[in-house]
Structure 1
Amino acid sequence: MLALAAEADVKRHVLTHRHTDLKDEFYARVRAQGHVPDSERKLREELRKTKKRLAEVIEENTRQQAEIETFARVVNVLTVENDQLRGQLGRKRASVVALHPGPAPGA
């Protein structure tokens, strides 16, 4: 693209931003010749790797979300059980009666 801009005696950004039809035609002709520029090849490889990594991150996120939901259910069950046990403990303390009275305090 730089060579085309130089040949046309215009700045590259003018060619790529104002005359997108020429830019598109240039790249179409390059592809038609079967030659893919190194920069495009590198970008395509980077895009492929990025898409693969994104898929891995999405999969990991989905797995972690399922684990979080499982842990939340476990915490809820344990909270209910804890409340029930505290209630039972409170009732047992209230019903404790001394069978052998010990010495009176201060005696």
Structure 2
Amino acid sequence: MTVVSLAAEAGLRRNKLTHKHTGLKELFYALVKARTPVPEALPDSTRARAAKEHQVLARVRAERDALRGQAQLLARIVQVLELENSKLEETNEALEQQAAAHASVPDITRRRRQP
């Protein structure tokens, strides 16, 4: 339970609880402190295992961040390639239209040489 949830249960806004009803707030903190058990000292093997797990977690997070960056880079590359592909398709269509227009024009040089 927090001061915010205590204020909600009491039907007060948090600032009223922490500024106006300070006795209630202090009682709440005293009860929370009394309920919280005192942690026992951890053995060295547990500390070593926790330290190792923190190192592994840091490595995995770094790897995740690197992979996320690579995925974003690959997505951008795909976008650029799609744009270039659409431009090439437009250019290819234009060239095909020009070739079709050129093919419909009769070759005048052949007619002159055949007399």
TM interval, short-chain normalised: 0.5 to 0.7
Q: Does 1:45 align with 2:62?
A: no
Residue 41 of structure 2 corresponds to: 30
TM-score relative to the length of structure 2: 0.57
Which one has a larger percent helix, Structure 1 or Structure 2?
A: 2
Aligned length: 77
Q: Does 1:81 align with 2:52?
A: no
TM-score relative to the length of structure 1: 0.60
Q: Residues 50-106 of structure 1, C-alpha deviation per residue, up to 9 Å, x if partnerless?
A: 001100110111111111101100000000110110111111011132334355xxx
Residue 68 of structure 1 corresponds to: 78
Distance 1:100 1:61, change over 3 A: closer
Runs (4+) of structure 1 exceeding 2 A deviation are 28-31, 33-36, 96-103
Please, which runs of 5 or more residues in structure 2 have no aligned partner? 1-36
User: Superposition RMSD on alpha carbons, in Å?
Assistant: 2.7
1:30 is matched by which residue type in structure 2? A
Residue 13 of structure 1 corresponds to: none
Please, which runs of 5 or more residues in structure 1 have no aligned partner? 1-24
